Chains A and B, each alone.
Chain A
Amino acid sequence: MQTRKKYIFLTFLASWLLLFFFFGDQLRRFAFFSGRKAEARRNWPRWTDRSLLKNFADPEELQRDGDRSLLSPRERRAAWLSVYKNSRCRMETCFDFSRCEKNGFKVFTYPRQRDQPISESYSKILTSIERSRYYTPNPEEACLFILSIDTLDRDHLSRQYVRDVDEKIRGFPLWNGGRNHLIFNLYSGTWPNYTEDLGFDIGQAILAKASFDTESFRPGFDISIPLFSKDHPQRGGERGWLYQDSIPPRKKYLLVFKGKRYLTGIGSGTRNALHHIHNGKDIISLTTCKHGKDWEKHKDTRCDKDNVNYEKFDYQELLHNSTFCIVPRGRRLGSFRFLEALQAACIPVLLSDGWELPFAEAIDWGKAAIVGSERLLLQIPSAVRCIHPERVLAFQQQTQFLWDAYFSSVDKIVHTTLEIIKDRLSLHRSRSRFLWNTLPGGLLVLPDFSTYLGDFPFYYLQHGTSPSEKFTAFIRAVSQAGSLSQPILRLIQAVSGSRYCAQILVLWSCEKPPPPSGKWPQTTVPLTIIQGRRKLSDRFFPYGAIQTDAVLSLDEHTSLSTSEVDFAFVVWRSFPERIVGFPTQSHFWDPEQGRWGYTSKWTNELSIVLTAAAFYHRYYHSLFTEYLPEGLRELVDGLAACEDILMNVLVAAVTKLPPIKVTQRKQHKETVAQQVGWAAGSRRFSQRQDCLNQLVDWFGYMPLVSSQLRLDPVLFKDQVSVLRKKYPRLEK
Chain B
Amino acid sequence: IMCASAKYNTRGPALIPRMKTKHRIYYITLFSIVLLGLIATGMFQFWPHSIESSSDWTVEKRSIHDVPVVKLPADSPIPERGDLSCRMHTCFDVYRCGFNPKNKIKVYIYSLKKYVDEYGTSVSNTISREYNELLTAISDSEFYTDDVNRACLFVPSIDVLNQNALRIKETAQALAQLSRWDRGTNHLLFNMLPGGPPDYNTALDVPRDRALLAGGGFSTWTYRQGYDVSIPVYSPLSGEVDLPERGPGPRRYFILSSQMALHPEYQSELEALQAENGESVLILDKCTNLSDGVPAVRKRCYKNQVFDYPQVLQESTFCVVVRGARLGQAVLSDVLQAGCVPVIIADSYILPFSEVLDWKRASVVIPEEKMPEMYSILQSIPQRQIEEMQRQARWFWEAYFRSMKAIALATLQIINDRIYPYAAISYEEWNDPPVVKWSSVSNPLFLPLIPPQSQGFTAIVLTYDRVESLFRVITEVSKVPSLSKLLVVWNNQNKNPPEDSLWPKIRVPLKVVRTAENKLSNRFFPYDEIETEAVLAIDDDIIMLTSDELQFGYEVWREFPDRLVGYPGRLHLWDHEMNKWKYESEWTNEVSMVLTGAAFYHKYFNYLYTYKMPGDIKNWVDAHMNCEDIAMNFLVANVTGKSVIKVTPRKKFKCPECTAIDGLSLDQTHMVERSECINKFASVFGTMPLKVVEHRADPVLYKDDFPEKLKSFPNIGSL
Contact = CB atoms under 8 A, between A and B. Distances in A.
Contacts of B138: 44
A214 B591 CA distance: 55
B304 interface: no
A53 B132 contact: yes
B129 A373 contact: no
Contacts of B286: 64
B607 A247 contact: yes
Interface stretch (A548-556, A680-688, A706-714): A706-714
A206 to B, nearest CB: 15
B151 interface: no
Nearest to A216: B85
A245 interface: yes
Contacts of B223: 219
A450 B94 CA distance: 44
A88 B84 CA distance: 12
Given A42-B57, A65-B329, A604-B701, A725 B589 contact: yes
A627 B262 CA distance: 43
Interface stretch (A68-76, A186-194, A335-343): A68-76
A570 interface: yes
A397 interface: yes
A716 B696 contact: yes
A276 B72 CA distance: 48
B427 A433 contact: yes
Interface string B682-719: 00000000010111111111111010001111000101
A293 interface: no
Interface string A1-44: 00000000100010011001100110111001100000011111
A713 B235 CA distance: 59
Contacts of B604: 245, 247, 390, 393
B165 interface: yes
Nearest to B364: A428
B507 interface: no
A28 B42 contact: yes
Given A44-B109, A66-B324, A434-B358, A53 B128 contact: yes
A215 interface: yes
A602 interface: yes
B162 interface: yes
Output the residue of A372, A375, A394, A461 with the most chain B CB within 10 A: A461
A54 B129 contact: yes
A55 B559 contact: no
B146 interface: yes
B150 to A, nearest CB: 10
B699 A710 contact: yes
Contact of A384 (B146, B422, B719): B422
B467 interface: no
A432 interface: yes
Given A66-B261, A250-B531, A386-B3, A375 B89 contact: yes
B700 A42 contact: no
B135 interface: yes
Interface string B418-448: 0001101011000100001011111111111
Interface size class of B (residues with CB under 8 A): 35 or more
A13 B695 contact: no
Nearest to A717: B703
A59 interface: yes
A430 B366 CA distance: 12
Interface in A710-732: 710-720, 724-727
B87 A28 contact: no
B675 to A, nearest CB: 21
B574 interface: no
Interface string A74-87: 10010000001000
Contact of A451 (B198, B382, B697, B712): B382
B315 interface: no
A714 B650 CA distance: 9
B585 interface: no
B61 A604 contact: no
Contact of B89 (A46, A67, A353): A353
Given A49-B64, A53-B127, A373 B94 contact: yes
Nearest to A724: B587
Contacts of A401: 446-447
Interface size class of A (residues with CB under 8 A): 35 or more
Interface in A690-715: 705, 707-715
Contacts of B54: 40, 42
Given A84-B221, A375-B95, A354 B444 contact: no
Given A243-B449, A452-B384, A711 B695 contact: yes
Interface string B513-535: 00000000000001000010100
Contact of A658 (B127, B422, B559): B559
A711 B560 CA distance: 13
A244 B455 CA distance: 9
Contact of B265 (A72, A214, A400, A584): A72
B673 interface: no
B517 to A, nearest CB: 24
A72 B323 CA distance: 12
Interface string B369-406: 10000000110111011001000000000000000000
B697 A434 contact: no
B561 to A, nearest CB: 7
B698 A367 contact: no
Nearest to A404: B447
A69 B198 contact: yes
A538 interface: no
A173 interface: no
Output the residue of B60, B192, B450 with the most chain A CB within 10 A: B450
Contacts of A113: none
B588 interface: yes
Contact of A20 (B42, B140, B590): B42
Given A9-B27, A73-B368, A244 B221 contact: no
A27 B441 CA distance: 49
A383 B650 contact: no
Nearest to B8: A248
Contacts of A214: 87, 225-226
Given A245-B533, A605-B700, A64 B34 contact: no
Nearest to A88: B221
B64 A53 contact: yes
Nearest to A40: B54
A657 B562 CA distance: 13
Contacts of A48: 61-63
A461 B440 contact: yes
A385 B3 contact: yes
A24 B129 contact: no
Interface of A: 9, 13, 16-17, 20-21, 24-25, 27-29, 32-33, 40-50, 53-57, 59-70, 72-74, 77, 84, 88, 90, 92, 97, 214-215, 219-220, 242-248, 250, 353-354, 364, 366-367, 370-376, 379, 382-390, 393-394, 397, 400-401, 427-434, 437, 439, 450-455, 461-464, 567, 570-571, 574, 584, 602-606, 655-658, 661-662, 705, 707-720, 724-727
Given A59-B237, A382-B99, A397-B446, 12 more contacts: A20-B38, A24-B45, A66-B262, A67-B325, A74-B265, A247-B526, A374-B89, A379-B99, A401-B447, A451-B381, A584-B700, A710-B699
In the A-B complex, list the 4 residue pairs whose CB atoms are closest, starting with the nearest.
A464-B439, A386-B3, A66-B261, A44-B139
27 contacts: A44-B136, A46-B60, A46-B136, A56-B128, A56-B130, A57-B162, A57-B164, A59-B236, A62-B233, A65-B326, A66-B260, A68-B261, A90-B221, A245-B602, A246-B533, A353-B87, A434-B431, A450-B385, A455-B382, A567-B695, A574-B643, A605-B700, A655-B448, A658-B559, A710-B698, A718-B649, A719-B719
